[in-house]
Structure formats: C-alpha cells, structure tokens
Chains A and B, each alone.
Chain A
Amino acid sequence: MNMIVCVKRVPDTAESEVHIDASGRDIDKSRLSFGINECDNYAVEEAIQIKEKLGGKVTVISLGGKENDEVIRMALAKGGDDAIRLDDPAFAGSDGFAVAKALAAAIKDLEYDIVFTGALADDDGYAVVPVALAELLGVPHATYVKDLEILEDGKRARVGRELEGGLMEYLEIELPCVLGIQTGINEPRYASFKGIKQAAKKEIVVKSAADLGLDPSEVGEAGSWAILEKFSVPEVGEMAEILQGDPEETAAKLAQILKEKGLI
C-alpha cells in the first residue's frame, strides 16, 4: 500500500490570544508556537498504522518554508519514508484550492493507493483540500473520515464518515482515493526526539512551482478562489453578565442565581 500524507504546519492558537498585525490580513505570530495541524497528525498515524499492517511506503508532503521541516521530520520519525516540501514564494497567500493545486501537481506522478490529508486546518478552517485534491487528481474521495478499513482485495476500502450528531456514514470506496481524516480516528503515537534527529538524515526533496510545472499565476494568491481582504475581531453579541469578585464571591453569587432560577 503506497500512501501519501499531506501535513500542514499551523500556529497553536487554542490557548493563546490572537492579535491582528499591521497589514490587517495576518496575525502577529511572534509569540505563538507552531506544530502539525491536529487532523493531519491523525492522518499521519493512520497511514503509518496501515503501513505497519499491510506494508508499503509513506511519503510526507508539506507546503511551506524550511520551518516546515520540523513537522515533516516528526512524521518521518513516526514511520514516514520519503518527504517532499513544496516551497516557492509564489505559494504565498494560497487558499485551499491553490494548496490543492500545488499538492496535485506534486502527487500526480507518484504511485499511490491512498492520499491522506486532514479534514480541515486549525488556522483557516477551509476544509477544501482533500475534496479539491481528489477532483484534481481524478480519483474518488471521502472526508471527515473517522473509521477506515482496507478491504481484503486491497483495491477498496470501507470508510466511516462522521456526520453531525456523531452518526457514522459508511461507504465503500475504490482505491486510489483521497481521504480527509478527522480527529479521533486513532491515537497518534509519540515521535521521540532521537527519532526526529535521525529523521533529519533523510532527504526532504524541495520542489518549486516551476519544478511542479505550475505557472505563478496558478498558485498562491493569484491562483486562489478567494483572497482574505482583512481580519476583524468578531463582534460579541450580548455578552454574559460577568460576575465580579474573588472565587468565594463569584461562586456565592452564581449559586444564588441558580437558586433563584429554581435550579437548586
């Protein structure tokens, strides 16, 4: 089973404050830490578990600058075999479509049974890449995949998609295909520091837009469906009434409110 996993490096904003930068189109990332996109981490694990079970090869692809090597190496340390980084100033400002085009150009000449991506990105949340990529490659797809079983003939897979309300939709899909992986499909393993260092010895093939046969007008902001004009801070609706005081006081106030509402 030959597999390709697409990984994205994203800033970790879950517990951090986010500030719009001077351009109004980006955020100040100087105080943020970065790591692999959460869904992508599950995608890497899924590919490696299949490789361990059925054999084959896992190729890791990421679009971005040299700083992406860290997440690539982490995936290599977990069991990835080869790595390609798509790096070109022309890729700047790519939306999901432009990213999918670059990935498709890199993947189309590779041998693969399954291309894995995360179902959506933690930063932009587009959720476009897996489905657009499949269309560009001309293969079937499924996204929000939370269960996967390669069927015995190795030519089809039983795929469980997670729908609203936690309902699972099962389908059978022919390989090769593209699968957008949802979190929770597996338990991602740890990449040891030693493993990451050893993975640094593996070559990461760097490809530019020209190497991929892409014209600058097809990629980046120019090749995107939409560009981000500006960010704004969401208007808060009617804000909650914030109870003031130390924990002793706020807890007492809240308990009183709950009592008044007949909840205690």
Chain B
Amino acid sequence: MKDIFVLMEHRRGELRDISLEMLCGASQLGGNVVAVLLGSGVDSFAEKAAGYADKVLYVDDPMFENYNSEAYQKALSALIKEHQPGLVLIGNTAQGVDMAPALAVELGAPLVTDIIALEMEGDKPKPTRQFYGGKLNAHMTLKDAGMYILTVREATFQVGEPTKSGEIVKVENPVKEEITYRKFVEYVEPEVGEVDITQSTMLVGVGRGIREDKNLPIVEELAKVLGADLAASRAVVDAGWLPPDRQVGISGKTVKPKLYLAVGISGAFQHVTGMKGSELIVAINKDPDAPIFSIADYGIVDDLFKVVPKLTEKIKELKGA
C-alpha cells in the first residue's frame, strides 16, 4: 500500500486537533503515515506529529506562517508529485475546504469532502459522508485513480497516545515565487459581548424551533430561573435574534458547561461540535428523529412552547422549596 499523506493544520501558534485526529485515523488504514507540515519555525509541531506518524515532511518557511490556500496548494502538489502517496487526508475545516478542491482539480485526483467514516477496499477508500444536514449517511464510491483526496470532519477519529517516532525530514520549500494574487492580511477576533458563554456553567441553547425572536422571553425566563446564560444555533444568530457571541458550533464558540439545555435545536453537526463536550446535555424538541437526541443524556419529545414554561415553573418550585 502506498503512503498516506496527512496535512497538518495549525493556526496562530497552535497545532489544531484535527491534525493528530487524522494521523491516528490514517494509522488504522495500513500503509506509511506521512505528516506534511507547512509552517514557519514550528519544530514543536513536527515533534508532536512525529509521535503519531511514520515520517514528517516539514517545510519550514516564513511563507507558511499564516495559512494561504494558494501557497499550500503549490507546496502540497509539488510534494505529492515527488512522493506519490496513494491517499491524502486534509481537515474538512475552513482551511482545508479552501484548498482541497483546487488541489484535486490540479492533480486530477478524486476528492470526497467532509467524510465521517472511512474503510479501505485495497488501495481505494470507501468513505461515508452526510447529506441533508446529517439526516442521512451517504456511502460514496470514488472513481478509480492512482491517488485519492479526502477531507475529514473534525472529531471523526479519536486521538490516542503517541506510539510512533517518525523521522522528521526537513524539505526545501518547493514554492519559489511569491504569491501576489492572494495575501494574508490579519485575523480579527469576533466581538466579545457582555457574556462569555465559554465560561458559563449552564447554558440554554436556542434553535430555530423558537420560530420568532418575540418568543425568546420564554427561554430567557427559563435561563433566568436556572441561572444560565443563553446560547444559540447559527440560524438564530443569522436571523439576528441573538448576537454572534452567543453562537455555539463550528463557526461559533465551543462550550463545555455543566448543563447544556438545547431548546428547539435539531442538532446539526455544526452546532453539536461546539457543545457535545458539555457535562449534561438535555434536549427539548418536538421531532423525535432530531439528531440532538442521539447526543443528549435526557430528552423531551414535545412542543417547546408547552414544555419550557412548565419547566420554568417546576424549577421555580424546587428552588423555592
């Protein structure tokens, strides 16, 4: 079996979790696992990756201090052409998705994005991904080719203990010319509001099921009685019903409160990613098939407009007692 390339992802001085997750996933497939690290002065990342990889290809160049999909694509395509891996794994992240399709087009390699499970049939991957916001799994068959590219959803693979000690091979930056048509400028932090939901001990998460912003008082009341803060799904923030700093999920905050009470949240992957680490998850949703119930500890399948006011009432009673 040919080598498996795994692209290391880092941002602002941190090696992102997805990198080691993919290395661990790749190790289960058979074949040499090669971590590809493009960065500037990130030796510690190379060492960390070496614990999970058979080899680390490390390009150390100021060009890679911040992510630039064009520079990444050029470097990666040169390394791939040189080393001829059979499979390339890239994070299905804002970085990975911004580059992988272009790389696949350039190299003529079949790509499947956002995979959540992976099996191999010889040299050929058989990935599973999701359609319709996670309501269905899709089993994909790739076209026959010499190399395949997959982008892997975060948390698809678990990170174990480092068991390898791969050789770290520093390679010269294959990209010689400066990229002028796309330049990194800066990072801008999301605005921080009055409440930092990442620090909250209890959160009431509000989803599309609330229907209108004028229905918010019923969850606000519940949150008040509980002493919890309000969090929101993307839909609620996009609608402007709650400010962006309340958003939980991939493009929002990752929260780990003692209690996450999901109200009218269906549990789309992008939201669940941000709150599944909560200690106790309770979901109230009228759709019994809502994916949120598969990660919740307790669920109530009923109309939130009926349950939430009752719950507020009951909590008030218990607090009074």
Contact = CB atoms under 8 A, between A and B. Distances in A.
A54 interface: no
Contact of A226 (B141, B310, B311): B141
Interface string A76-107: 00000000000000000000110010000000
B68 to A, nearest CB: 7
Interface string B187-226: 1111000000000001000001000000000000000001
Contact of B101 (A96, A254, A263): A96
Contacts of B288: 242
B301 A242 contact: yes
Looking at B94, B110, B112, B129, the one whose CB has the most chain A CB atoms below 10 A away is B94
A188 to B, nearest CB: 10
A240 B298 contact: yes
Interface stretch (A58-66, A135-143, A206-214): A135-143
Contacts of B310: 247-248, 250-252
Interface in B129-152: 129-143
Given A131-B98, A132-B105, A254-B298, A234 B111 contact: no
Contact of A251 (B253, B301, B307): B307
Interface in B246-297: 247, 250-254, 258-259, 266, 280-283, 287-289, 291, 293-297
B315 interface: yes
Contacts of A128: 101, 111, 113
A111 B132 CA distance: 34
Contacts of A123: 131-132
A27 B136 contact: yes
B181 A140 contact: yes
A229 B140 contact: yes
B182 A167 contact: no
Interface in A113-157: 122-132, 134-136, 140-144
B188 A131 contact: no
Interface in B68-94: 68-70, 92-94
B110 A225 contact: yes
B230 to A, nearest CB: 16
Contacts of B172: none
Interface of B: 11, 66-70, 92-95, 97-102, 104-106, 110-114, 129-143, 180-190, 202, 208, 226, 234, 237-238, 240, 244-245, 247, 250-254, 258-259, 266, 280-283, 287-289, 291, 293-303, 306-307, 310-311, 313-315, 317-319
Interface of A: 13-15, 17-18, 20, 27, 96-97, 100, 122-132, 134-136, 140-144, 158, 160-174, 182-184, 187, 224-234, 236-243, 247-248, 250-252, 254-259, 261, 263-264
Given A141-B98, A229-B140, 19 more contacts: A14-B208, A122-B133, A127-B101, A132-B104, A141-B69, A162-B251, A163-B11, A165-B251, A166-B190, A169-B187, A171-B68, A174-B181, A232-B136, A232-B137, A247-B302, A251-B307, A258-B259, A263-B202, A263-B258
27 contacts: A100-B105, A125-B130, A125-B133, A126-B114, A127-B92, A132-B101, A141-B102, A142-B182, A162-B251, A165-B190, A166-B253, A225-B142, A232-B139, A236-B294, A237-B295, A240-B297, A240-B299, A241-B298, A242-B288, A242-B300, A247-B302, A250-B300, A250-B310, A251-B307, A251-B311, A255-B317, A264-B226
